[in-house]
Amino acid sequence: MFVDQAKIKIKAGDGGDGAVSFHREKYVAAGGPDGGDGGRGGDVVFQVDDNFSTLIDFRYKRKYVAQRGENGGARNCTGKSAPPLIVKVPRGTVVRDAKTGRIMADMSSDEPKVLARGGQGGKGNVHFATSTRQIPKFAKPGFPGEEFEVSLELKLLADVGLVGFPNVGKSTLISVVSAAKPKIANYHFTTLTPVLGVVRTDEEKSFVMADIPGLIEGAGDGVGLGHEFLRHVERCRLIVHVVDVSGIEGRDPKEDFEIINGELAKFNEDLAKRPQIVAANKSDMATEEQISDFRQFIEEKGIPFFCISAATTKGTQELIGKVAEVLDTLPPIKEYEAEPIPQAELDEMLGVDKKFEITVEDGIYFVDAPWIQPIMRTVDPDDYSSLQYFQRVLINSGIIAKLEEMGVSEGDTVDIEGFEFDFVY
């Protein structure tokens, strides 16, 4: 079964809790706190696996949860961080936030993508000892891991997409120019799933061709099978429009051409602007007048025209040569950029009650703001844009202004819910 859409839930592991512990050793009195930090929760990482060609596995398993970090221990022992949970997907899978539609990742390269970050471990009580609080009997719990419901959509990575009405010879064409072996028969909707074939033009040069099945009038509105597979044309750099020039089934090739292009435009306007080559198939059963009339119609539109017979391979090599020539002038296969979390969504994560309290102990400014904890797990200290957003949160909430009012100086230590950093202007 070919499955190219799925919806699953992913949850990164929660961070382990910090430990409350005090040093105990013979002949050592009042050893002080030595509770270690909790370990980091496991990330949820998506990775391409070329052994997968559909999303069918996600029909049976819909929840993926990474392990929790271990709790901290005595003697300043940090809990063990949990390993990442690897989720394998076929190449070309686009991952979106199911709630907002935001693109989170395009799994087209071999680079793994972290889609849900594990929670940071909580601080042990050793971090909360001061000159006035020498036996802190508390520690911080681990931060929760990120959790999302995501939709997966497979968009095949093909350089060339074959489009056209059913039974015009698309499957026959891909079978004679590549090693693909689709089902071929003389009835409509013989092909029920997209078929990929690698077309080699010489020893070191090739491109991928996709046979997109089921396009009929109304496909852009969900009629027939075409609406299920139009998404696979979106990445194609070039469209080869296969038309039955013989009209053997009683259809007008000009009308067929206009209808299919209309459905492509209805589904995605960019598709209608994609470079096209028209392959007038079944020319061995057409009259010279039919071929000449259709050729004039296409060439007046400025579209390259090739007269072929896929069944006898007539003209197919010339067509492939032109396809390879055009591909050399086109940009690479489209990849979708991950979209940042919108400001409104991040603000919603923060909640509405933004009260906070700031205390100073031994020169450290402790900010107590429970509402900020959900956003802390999204902060990556190594990512500049992440730190910029965190700074905006602190400014907009009034925390920075309050710190300045209390006399904070550059280089002073600020502790926000266990997250410490040096204050800078």
State how far the alpha carbon of 279 is from the alpha carbons of 132, 168, 249, 300, 322, in Å.
84, 10, 17, 15, 11
Residue where one domain finishes, among candidates 99, 131, 155: 155
pLDDT tens digits for 140-160? 888 888 899 999 998 888 899
**Amino acid in the structure at residue 348:** E
122 and 137 both lie in a single domain: yes
pLDDT tens digits for 89-131? 999 999 999 988 999 999 999 999 999 999 888 888 888 787 7
Segment among 81-95, 277-291, 360-374 with least mean pLDDT: 360-374
80 and 198 both lie in a single domain: no
CATH of the domain at 25: 2.70.210.12
Residue where one domain finishes, among candidates 97, 129, 155: 155
State the sign of the Cα–Cα–Cα–Cα dihedral 131, 133, 138, 141.
negative
62 and 202 both lie in a single domain: no
Q: What is the residue range of 198's domain?
A: 160-327
pTM, two decimals, is 0.71
283 and 150 both lie in a single domain: no
Residue where one domain finishes, among candidates 301, 327, 353: 327
Average pLDDT in the 293-322 region? 93
Q: Do the domain assignments include residue 335?
A: no
Q: Do the domain assignments include residue 151?
A: yes
CATH of the domain at 422: 3.30.300.350
With helix as H, strand as E and coil as C, how does 57-100 read?
HHHCCCEEECCCCCCCCCCCCCCCCCCCEEEEECCCEEEEECCC
Average pLDDT in the 198-224 region? 71
Asked whether the predicted pLDDT for residue 379 surpasses 80, the reply is: no
CB neighbours (10 Å) of residue 191? 22
pLDDT tens digits for 57-87? 898 899 999 999 999 998 889 999 999 999 9
93 and 43 both lie in a single domain: yes
* Structural domain count of the chain: 3
Highest mean pLDDT among 171-180, 216-225, 366-375: 171-180
Helices (H) and strands (E) in the chain, counts: 10, 18
Q: Do the domain assignments include residue 333?
A: no
pLDDT tens digits for 398-419? 899 999 899 888 888 888 877 7
Q: In 3-state terms, what secondary structure has residue 141? A: coil
240 and 294 both lie in a single domain: yes
Q: Do the domain assignments include residue 336?
A: no
138 and 174 both lie in a single domain: no
Asked whether the predicted pLDDT for residue 222 surpasses 60, the reply is: no
**Cα–chain-centroid distance for residue 208?**
22
Q: Do the domain assignments include residue 256?
A: yes
Average pLDDT in the 224-244 region? 77
In DSSP terms, which residues pair with 8 in a beta bridge? Answer: 150
pLDDT value for 95 = 96
Do the beta carbons of residue 358 and residue 366 sit within 8 Å? yes
Please spell the DSSP secondary structure of 237-267, one letter per residue: SEEEEEEETT-TTS--HHHHHHHHHHHHHHH
Q: Do the domain assignments include residue 337?
A: no
311 and 238 both lie in a single domain: yes
pLDDT value for 150 = 96
74 and 180 both lie in a single domain: no
Q: Do the domain assignments include residue 334?
A: no
279 and 308 both lie in a single domain: yes
Do the beta carbons of residue 103 and residue 134 sit within 8 Å? no
| Cα–Cα distance for residue pair 166/212, rounded to 1 Å | 10
87 and 216 both lie in a single domain: no
Strand 5-11 with 147-154, pairing: antiparallel
pLDDT value for 219 = 45
Q: What does the angle CA 112 – CA 113 – CA 115 come to, to the nearest 5 degrees?
A: 145
118 and 203 both lie in a single domain: no
| Cα–Cα distance for residue pair 244/275, rounded to 1 Å | 20
CATH of the domain at 219: 3.40.50.300
Q: Do the domain assignments include residue 218?
A: yes
